Amino acid sequence: MPVQYCPYKHNGELDLDGLKKNTEFLVDFAENGNKDVVVMTNGSTTECYANSIDEQKTVVRTVIDAVKGRIPVVAGASHSGTKETIKMVKYVQDAGADCAMVVLPYYHKPTKEGLFKHYKAISDATDIAIMVYNNPDVSGTLVDPQLMKKISEIENVVALKDNTPNAAEYAWKAALIDSGDMALLAGYGELHYLGAAAYGYKYQGYVTWIANFAPNISYPIYSAVLQRDFIKAQQALEKEMPLWALPGKFMCKRESFSIIPSILQTNYMYMSVGKAAMELTGLSGGHLRAPLEDLTAEERDEVRKVLRETGVIQ
């Protein structure tokens, strides 16, 4: 499940032609060999937080129109309050998305009952499938396995993008949640997917930033796990590791003042690396919107070197 980057022009405006090109690239990859690919857009990686509501709607509509129903589309539809979230979910439903991804309410943190009622209200007000986005770094909260089981039983709530860093929580969710109620996805991508999938293959897929520009090295991890060949999957993952090393290396040069515990933090240099990689592979990335930082020229050269080492570019 590639979560898309949002390309911007040099003047900062949305690059809709670039977004269409990036989307077509993913659809072409999916159709070549009938691969199991779902496009996710208007998520954190799509810089939804930095886009206006109108821009978010434009991104969603552009991607859905480009896909033309050939593969499923999950569209982010999040807000800090329930009422405004419902408005956005209704929009992506009317636009033709297959599923609406809704992050946990942020800013003021709800109680467990308030959180449950948040998703119940969305389900009651809409007809579209709903994916819960369990992301502590952006919401300041983390849904435990018992509460997630309760949420999974809400009608229309069909999937979980799980950004928990705790392997035990993967195990408990796999044990408690009926796969007929909720599809479980590793939100942190390939690195967590192998471990999570090992729990009875209850985690059936993963969200990935690398597949936006290098699906040929990301997809073999999924296909190996599909065959229950975890040794082969680990070998495929090792081919990706030089790309995963770059955000950590680049973050070490910078200072973070986040008060979120480090185990729950996301290293957002993956955004900078991914956008640079999009450009270097002939796709559309553009700059990051403030307050995130683009890579330096030297760092871009390092990305180019790793893309060559991993066979993504010549």
Classify residue 131 as exposed, middle or buried by CB count within 10 Å of its CB (0-12, 13-18, 19+).
buried
Q: Which of 133, 170, 203, 268 is catalytic?
A: 133
SS3 24: helix
Structure tokens at 75: 């569209």
CA distance 113 to 86: 18
Look at phi and psi of residue 107 and say left if phi exceeds 0, alpha if psi is from -120 to 50, else beta: left
User: Crossing angle, helix 82-95 and helix 112-125, to 10 degrees?
Assistant: 30
CA distance 83 to 124: 12
Q: Is 133 a catalytic residue?
A: yes
CA distance 302 to 37: 29
> Which amino acid, one-letter code, is at 144?
D
Structure tokens at 312: 């993504």
Sign of CA dihedral 295, 37, 163, 137: positive
Q: Is 21 a catalytic residue?
A: no
Q: Alpha helix (H) ranges present in the chain?
A: 16-31, 53-67, 82-95, 112-125, 136-139, 145-152, 167-176, 190-197, 215-226, 230-251, 269-280, 297-309
Largest CA distance in the chain: 53
CA distance 236 to 257: 34
Strands (E), the chain: 39-41, 73-76, 99-103, 129-134, 157-162, 183-186, 203-206
Q: Which of 149, 150, 161, 275 is catalytic?
A: 161
Q: Which residues are catalytic?
A: 133, 161
